[in-house]
Amino acid sequence: MTPRVALHVVKLGSATLAHPSVFAEVAELAGRARVLVVAGGAAGIAAHYRAIGREVPMLRLRNGDEVRHCTPEEMAHLVDAYERVTLPGARSGLSAHGLAVFTATGASGLVTATPAGPLRASVEGKQRIVRDHRIGTVTSVDVARLGALLDAYDVVVLSPPVAASDGGTPLNVDADVLAAELSNVLHADHLRLVTGTPGLLADKDDPATTITDVHPGEGGGHAGGRMRQKVRAAELALLGSADVAITGPHTLHNPAGTSRFWPERPPRAELTLLNRVVAIPSVSHDEGELARYLVGWCAERGIDAFVDEVGNFVATRGEAVGGGVPRRLLMLGHLDTVPFHWPVRWDGDALFGRGSVDAKGCLANFVEVLAACDVPPGYQLRVVGAVEEEVSSSRGAFHVRDHYPADAVVVGEPSGVDALTLGYFGLFKLGLSVRTPTGHSAGKDAVSAPDAVVGLAQDIRDDVLKLVPEALSALISLSSAQRHDHHTAEAVLNFRVPPGADLDAITAAALGHASVHASFGHASVEVLRRTPGHAGKRSTVLAKAFGRAFGQQGLRPRYLVKKGTSDMNTLATTWRDVPMVAYGPGDSAFDHTDDERITGADYLAARAVLADAVGHWITLTGAAG
């Protein structure tokens, strides 16, 4: 089962809840991520008040907006409206897709607010100070309970009103703002405020005037009525780590009707794509939003691009001549990152954010070089942003290996502006499991399951390192469980093995230890991953093309074989005699750290090297016939 690591917060307005198609979109999300839906209630409130023969009391504020007059007496009716109309409707629509759904109002104690101060409003045509209202400002969220619910259910649906910190009747809060507050405190990856218009419009009367990109302070001038609250909520959410958009009409995914809110402008216009690619979270198994954004970016520039059947972003320029096979250069990056919880930000020329180095800077450069390069007849350049590179599956790269053949490959991984990576160590990963009889730890010759699994790991390490002294090893996970009649322990043992290492001999040495340790109970050893190392040569046409590019940019290159593993290794499992290198800006020491960052200067310098290298590769392959 795919781990549901990412969190999507989706605010559905009451009118959108009447559109069945949006429930299908939420169901698709729930298959790969945790989903929190915040349900708006205007239509449900109106329906409930009609059913009980009661008029919805309203106030007109000084700015012209109308809000409900939420007196303590009215709050009971508002809670009823959500619990009897809005939430049952959401539950029914989602359950129809086979989802396990939890619904509640924030008044259940999941969200708490403090009462707002008096309002100045028009009452019966006269300006008055209104004190008898129950409008609140969110101050706390029960993160532990909500987290448990999100893990237990496919979709959690939450709506106003919320609990009051003063112990009084519940407090009404704006549903868009509630969604933004929840997005921030839960460290959501994505926030979508779904509405009945195609995003934020430059002209509210013209649905074709969607403002596609919005920065802080820009949206308010184009918003009126209820849209003002959505803009306010979107800008509030930019304080967190989510990528934020207003979408519609009544859909999560409409490229022509999406207004994205970006946390900051880059210091230079040439860094815009880098800025945006890093600002869209894309943890493993949740790469879809970034892939779709890149497809849209390419479409605006006339580049053929799509998301393939496994989720890879694929963009291609150039074709064969006269029905032949073109010379094909593949630039292979990856979309996914490891998880993170901090806002993307610029500090001078440095962009801090997950993926800036590993490896969104590389991928953004690939796409920009693809767009700018002159591709002559008979040549084809293809960029792929692969999924699941940061997890053991490497699903995207395996699909590339089997479906996108190439004559040369540049892998997008950080090497530094002045360095070219010729190869990587391989990955040998083992799952270890030990089961021992239950016994007192003070018993004679007692060996606990954790002791046994650690001993098993060490014995395997010793034998593997005898075969491959250059290998690196680490025990990367360890767990145990106690039952009434037995004790179990499990571990994952990781090896990085150099190119040329005999994986068959290493595998035999490792698997041979299962029977050796059977004397203290049951022991098993399972191979979880077996990817050989790979190293190319400096004499290939591709490496020479980069050598010329370095010289053209006044750089003296360094050539590396790295201890990590990349998608180069996956391709090399079946591709023979295909030159491959890895290149990209950034310092790999920042990979996966909370200090991950890249400078604009390095990004642009690497782009220049890459563009020159692609041009030289075309020239050299043409000269070679």
Give catalytic residue positions.
336, 389
Q: Is 501 helix (H, G, I), strand (E, B) or coil?
A: coil
- Backbone phi, psi, residue 171, to 5°: -110, 140
- Candidates 409, 334, 347, 350; CA nearest to 581 is 409
Tell me the β-bridge partners of 53: none
Nearest alpha-carbon partner for 476 in 428, 530, 510: 428
Amino acid at 188: A
Answer yes or no: are the C-beta atoms of 520 and 475 closer than 8 Å: no
Distances (CA, A) of 419 to 190, 478, 618: 35, 37, 21
What are the tokens at 169? 């009747």
Measured distance CA(211)–CA(205) in Å, rounded: 13
Helices marked H in 158-271 — which ranges?
Answer: 175-185, 226-237
For residue 194, the surrounding DSSP H or E stretch is strand 190-194
Which residues fall within 8 angstroms of residue 354, CB to CB, at 6 or more apart? 278, 281, 337, 338, 339, 340, 342, 344, 596
Distance CA 200, CA 35 (A): 24
- Is the Cα torsion angle 116, 122, 127, 128 positive or negative in sign? negative
Q: Which CA distances in Å does 78 have to 17, 84, 118, 556?
A: 18, 10, 20, 70
Q: Give the Å distances, CA to CA, from 596 to 130, 228, 353.
A: 50, 35, 6
Q: CA 134 → CA 387, 440, 481, distances in Å? A: 47, 61, 50
Count each helix (H run) and each strand (E run) in the chain, helices first.
17, 30
**Do 357 and 597 meet the contact criterion of CB atoms below 8 Å apart?**
yes
Tokens at 200, concatenated: 């934020």
With the C-alpha atoms ordered 117, 120, 121, 125, is the resulting torsion angle positive or negative? Answer: positive
Q: Treating both helix axes as pointing N-terminal to C-terminal, what angle do 175-185 and 226-237 enclose, rounded to 10 degrees?
A: 10
* CB atoms near residue 205 (< 10 Å): 6
